Amino acid sequence: METQKLKGQSALVTGADSGIGKGVAIALAQAGAKVLINYNSNQESAEEVVAEIKEKGGDAHCFQADVSSEHDVQAMFAKHLELFGSIDILVNNAGLQKDAKFIDMTLVDWNKVIDVNLTGQFLCSREAAKAFLARGVVEGVSRSAGKIICMSSVHEVIPWAGHVNYAASKGGINMFMKSIAQELAPHKIRVVGIGPGAIQTPINKEAWETPEALDKLLELIPYKRIGKPEDIGKLVAWVASDEADYITGTTIFSDGGMTLYPGFEDNG
Ligand code: NAD
């Protein structure tokens, strides 16, 4: 039986009713953490994730909150503390795309992506850090006072024409993650970025739903397979555990080699 690396801990995962967030929530629960499943609009899917975790013997609840709303985020953290007494792990996963050619991109779509993908991580991390600082390290639970895991993307380093709001939000997450990691490390709080490549979820359905689209996508992936939410879930569960206690302020890519500039494979 797999050891429960996160036993006695609780985690809040944003956007956990779908895709990567769902995979992360399930992996954290399998590692022994109690999980709060945040969703914005799809209550039914969130309840299905809760049911799946409970069926496997875990403990989970769900809570509606828009991560770009300060009021909602504060209410969500209050609920987490009411349910579980404290918090050990925040996974800033919620994110979206509003794609357009640069000159056609509206201010509304620019702001929406920055508000959810970047400001959402700021609002949630600030609440988590306050709770971690108020409690400190609890011996026998974790060597760290708390862990903040920021879902970034290969697009924190790979430019992405037609998606400048998204790429800017992920580039922003990189410096946000590093800066708060620097500020919080003396307080025994770790902050780590995760950079997924192409993971099979609803966000990028058009890139894998037909065999032709998938073949084209695989040209960008040296390892020649699309990633699955479980790939990221297992990584996050490990990063959140004491096995990764010396890791802070860096992004770990899980991308089948997408950041290896595959266009140069045959000498460019
Ligand atoms: P997804 O669309 O399946 O999931 C996104 C989640 O974010 C959904 O649950 C959605 O409801 C939630 N969300 C959106 N706006 C929200 C808001 N205002 N408040 C709360 N929740 C909100 O897509 P996914 O692929 O699972 O994406 C999850 C994260 O992973 C995102 O940050 C995305 O940028 C990142 N990512 C995905 C891939 C990929 O290939 N799928 C690659 C790199 C990074």
Distance, in Å, from the CA atom of 167 to the CA atom of 160, rounded to the nearest integer, reads 6
pLDDT (0 to 100) of residue 62? 98
Q: Which atom of ligand 1 is nearest to the CA of 170?
A: 34
Q: Is residue 262 part of a domain?
A: no
pLDDT (0 to 100) of residue 164? 98
Q: Is residue 86 part of a domain?
A: yes
Beta bridge partners of 107: none
Whole-number Å distance, alpha carbon 165 to ligand 1 midpoint, is 14
Q: Is residue 1 part of a domain?
A: no
Q: In what order do the strands lie in the sheet with 10-13?
A: 60-64, 34-39, 10-13, 89-92, 146-151, 189-196, 251-254
Report the interhelical angle of 120-135 vs 164-184 (nearest 10°).
20
Q: What 3-state class would DSSP assign to 146? A: strand
Whole-number Å distance, alpha carbon 186 to ligand 1 midpoint, is 31
Distance, in Å, from the CA atom of 131 to the CA atom of 144, rounded to the nearest integer, reads 13
User: Would you say the CB of residue 207 lies under 6 angstroms from ligand 1?
Assistant: no
Q: Is residue 128 part of a domain?
A: yes
Q: Is residue 265 part of a domain?
A: no
pLDDT (0 to 100) of residue 2? 58
Does the pLDDT at position 43 exceed 80?
yes
User: Would you say the CB of residue 196 lies under 6 angstroms from ligand 1?
Assistant: yes
Please give the mean pLDDT across all residues of the chain: 97
Domain that holds residue 59: 10-253
pLDDT (0 to 100) of residue 182? 98
Q: Is residue 267 part of a domain?
A: no
Q: Decide if 49 contacts 26 (C-beta within 8 A).
A: yes
Q: Is residue 94 part of a domain?
A: yes
Q: What is the CATH number of the domain that holds 76?
A: 3.40.50.720
Mean local confidence (pLDDT), 129-155: 98
Q: How confident is the model at residue 122 (pLDDT cuts 50, 70, 90)?
A: very high
Q: Is residue 259 part of a domain?
A: no
Lowest mean pLDDT among 1-5, 136-140, 146-150: 1-5
Amino acid letter for position 55:
E
Distance, in Å, from the CA atom of 249 to the CA atom of 91, rounded to the nearest integer, reads 15
Residues written for the chain: 268
Q: Is 39 noted as a catalytic residue in this protein? A: no
CA distances to 74, 230, 258 from 245, in Å: 28, 22, 27
Structural domains counted in the chain? 1
Q: Which atom of ligand 1 is nearest to the CA of 72?
A: 19
Stronger pLDDT, 126 or 263, i.e. the higher one: 126
pLDDT (0 to 100) of residue 267? 80
Does the pLDDT at position 1 exceed 90?
no
Rg, the chain, Cα only: 18
CB atoms within 10 A of CB 237: 27
pLDDT (0 to 100) of residue 3? 73
Rounded to the nearest 10°, the torsion over CA 82, 239, 135, 188 is -160
